[in-house]
Chains A and B, each alone.
Chain A
Amino acid sequence: MAASASSRSKAPKVAGPAEFTREQELHAYREMLLIRRFEEKAGQMYGMGLIGGFCHLYIGQEAVVVGMQMAAQEGDQIITGYRDHGHMLVCGMDPKGVMAELTGRRGGLSKGKGGSMHMFSKEKHFYGGHGIVGAQVSLGTGLAFANHYRGNKNVSMVYFGDGAANQGQVYESFNMAELWKLPAIYIIENNRYAMGTSVSRASAQSDFSKRGLSFNIPGEQVDGMDVRAVKAAGAKALAWCREGKGPYILEMQTYRYRGHSMSDPAKYRSKEEVQKMREEHDPIEQVRGRLLREKFATEDELKATDAKVRAIVAEAAEFATNDPEPDPSELWTDILL
């Protein structure tokens, strides 16, 4: 843990991430804010009993998916674990459909049959939403296999956490991906805690960018709180994959502000640690600060963006609250084709 904390606080900024244009900053701000507000609303609705079961919020990690998606091209696939709401929103999946899936309603993206951890969109190239830690790594490698088999130039972006990085199938997948030069980017979202277990208590090698070394997969650590750094690293990795050089590992050093899931007592870390990350490294505040400093936007313009985002989230929440539950006949559909 100490290692990754100090490397972040030193803020290596080797070459400094490429600056964003005004449009890029505004885009990143809006996308990250949509995830933040959506997740806050989801947390609130969970508290009201409208969302059941497990609900894993992405608050704090927004820069990772937003930066990667800014680097990606149409056709690149995304697959992730159960902390998946941000990934779906950034793919362009309908916030109403996502929220209605969280509340288990018929207008949910999986007709209310999947829940928070299980949504998909072939049209948006989003392959889930998987509840078994690490399973998405082999599945995402399969998506890369399909790209390679078809000879297209798409890349599979495989997201998983520091916890999943200790599962055996991750390394089985790394081996085959490099052996067959599959176009997969393994994006390890290191938010420092696998549920309540810190990286230092779970990982013999806590530099996750090195986890592909014995397979000759290149990797690098990225400041996952800086959307510009994420996009720059993502662009490099995507180019590597598109050139047919095989897989690439990006360790995104990030942080989740909320608990592992909604019922997390958060006894494993101090409030000061969380507060420090929020105050000093918040991915949205960083962009907001630059927008104002560079005079890319005024306070009023940003307030207008906030209001628009809030309206989208409020509409999603209203839909998800009032949409009916699935028809009982749905119990028996979609088992086989």
Chain B
Amino acid sequence: MAVNILMPALSPTMEQGKLAKWLKKVGDKVKSGDVLAEIETDKATMEVEAVDEGVLAAILVADGTENVAVNTPIAVITAEGESIDTVPAAAATKPAAHDGFGDKPVTVAKSTSDAPAAPIMTVPAAPEVPAGTPMVAMTVREALRDAMAEEMRADEDVFIMGEEVAEYQGAYKITQGLLQEFGARRVIDTPITEHGFAGIGVGAAMSGLKPIVEFMTFNFAMQAIDQIINSAAKTLYMSGGQMGCPIVFRGPNGAAARVGAQHSQDYAAWYSQIPGLKVVAPYTAADFKGLMKAAIRDPNPIIFLENEILYGRTFDVPKVDDFVVPIGKARIHRVGSDVTLVSWSIGMTYAIKAAEELAKEGIEAEIIDLRTIRPMDVDTIIASVQKTGRCVTVEEGWPQSGVGAEIAARVMERAFDWLDAPVARVTGKDVPMPYAANLEKLALPNVGEVIQAAKAVLYR
């Protein structure tokens, strides 16, 4: 069967090109892989190869022809002994394709110009801890350790790897005792090699294990961020839903104290931009425990942002067998009617103190502890703002494209008519973190700034 050779495209954007030179002439025998001709655009030269065997029966576009449209027939190949008469006459003038199948019109489903609306994500409500539940006081550090130990006891596929997590008992002692209980097979000291062990963790997760990857701090995870975003977050989508990645990346995030610019960055906004990740940043020990257990059980990649300064803080944690807090649900930390303060992680410490001070002046602030940055519990924020009409965000991260900026945009989109003042942001200053004690203090937010912002949105 005679087939047409078409003018090929060198790239998806190419529409026409020059047929520079024929390397075969009419009557030549050709086989698959033979170079028939060279074509050129302003960018590149490419060879047109034969895909089928046969004889070059006709050249339809001569050497040196400019502006040949893509998919124009440029030559005809016939089987040996076949006459060119068998080529449908029309084939030489209208675009057609090889092997017969291409004669059918290319069926490209008509896409709607507008993307369909994003589905609404529903997160189960956080379980109420019944009144009278016994509480045990523990530090954030202990809560994290207990959460990981409980999940490791329950599931053989859960393991932890990272720098100094085993013999050293954790650079911040979060993994204290885990090596002794679970052994070196499941509590694995890695070399200092973030990019490598993050990739190994993601590969292990793709094969169905449930790694907890500890970064000594999230500052070092920048070495590994390609594996977190390009491999862990995107693979489920790129595989059409086949290849999940049940992994937890955890470690201290943000500023500690006097450790300088490279060790003091808050990554909440960075990771929160990535579809395919969930980003958690708790404040209380109970939430650290319950959310860590949820994160380990979650089939998706989780960024679990801790805070070094919070590690030693003590909170009441419900003394129940299996305390799990759902990811994606905010918690109302303090009920109030005058202004909504939205924060998470260490930002909560400023919000709580500010609320106490504001109360002395008769201003009742409602504090929302976001707990999860992505997916963000916007409903809870909106419900509060509809009540108070005013909103202040509090975070240690930088202002531009920060989480506070996102909250402000969401509130503006969904509760504009309820707002009595523009949303105010309290953030870290737009500078690398300085080392000097006085400058570091200036770079971080403080309680006074939160009070000032709250009063500003109250016009007081």
Contacts and interface: CB of A to CB of B under 8 A. Distances in A.
Interface of A: 36-37, 40-41, 43-44, 46-50, 52-53, 59, 77, 79, 108-115, 118-122, 127-132, 135, 137-147, 149, 168-169, 172-173, 175-176, 179, 257, 259, 262-266, 278, 314, 317-318, 321-329, 331-337
Interface string B4-19: 0011111110000000
> B109, B115, B202, B205: which has the most chain A beta carbons within 10 Å?
B109
Nearest to A315: B101
A44 B106 contact: no
B129 interface: no
Nearest to A44: B51
B171 interface: no
A48 B236 contact: no
A315 to B, nearest CB: 9
Interface stretch (B84-92, B192-200, B254-262): B192-200
Nearest to A317: B101
Contacts of B11: 262-263
17 contacts: A36-B32, A40-B33, A59-B33, A109-B240, A111-B240, A118-B239, A120-B238, A122-B243, A142-B199, A144-B203, A149-B159, A172-B193, A175-B193, A321-B104, A322-B104, A335-B276, A337-B236
Given A278-B33, A332-B118, A332-B119, A139 B240 contact: no
Given A122-B243, A262-B10, A335 B275 contact: yes
Given A138-B227, A139-B202, A142-B202, A120 B207 contact: no
> B45, B71, B200: which has the most chain A beta carbons within 10 Å?
B200
A109 to B, nearest CB: 7
Interface residues of B, number: 74
A168 B227 CA distance: 13
Contacts of B51: 40-41, 43-44
Given A48-B6, A142-B199, A145-B200, A119 B206 contact: no
A319 to B, nearest CB: 9
> B193, B196, B278: which has the most chain A beta carbons within 10 Å?
B196
A326 B299 CA distance: 25
A132 B230 contact: yes
B116 interface: yes
B133 interface: no
Contact of B193 (A122, A176, A328): A176
B195 A127 contact: no
A316 B231 CA distance: 29
Given A118-B238, A337-B244, A263 B230 contact: no
A328 B116 contact: yes
B195 A169 contact: yes
> A52, A179, A265: which has the most chain B beta carbons within 10 Å?
A265
Contacts, number: 229
Given A131-B230, A142-B202, 7 more contacts: A111-B241, A142-B199, A143-B204, A262-B10, A324-B107, A326-B109, A336-B278
A113 B242 CA distance: 12
Contacts of A336: 236, 276, 278, 300
Nearest to A45: B97
Contacts of B231: 130, 132, 135, 139
Contacts of A115: 238
Contact of A337 (B49, B102, B200, B299): B299
Contact of A317 (B44, B99, B241): B99
A318 B107 CA distance: 11
A336 B327 CA distance: 13
Contacts of A119: 239
Nearest to A114: B238
A141 B242 contact: no
A11 to B, nearest CB: 23
B459 to A, nearest CB: 41
Contacts of A143: 203-204, 206-207
Given A48-B8, A143-B207, A324-B109, A333 B104 contact: no
Nearest to A330: B240
Given A128-B235, A263-B11, A322-B104, A176 B243 contact: no
B227 A146 contact: no
Given A114-B238, A332-B116, A321 B102 contact: yes
B444 interface: no
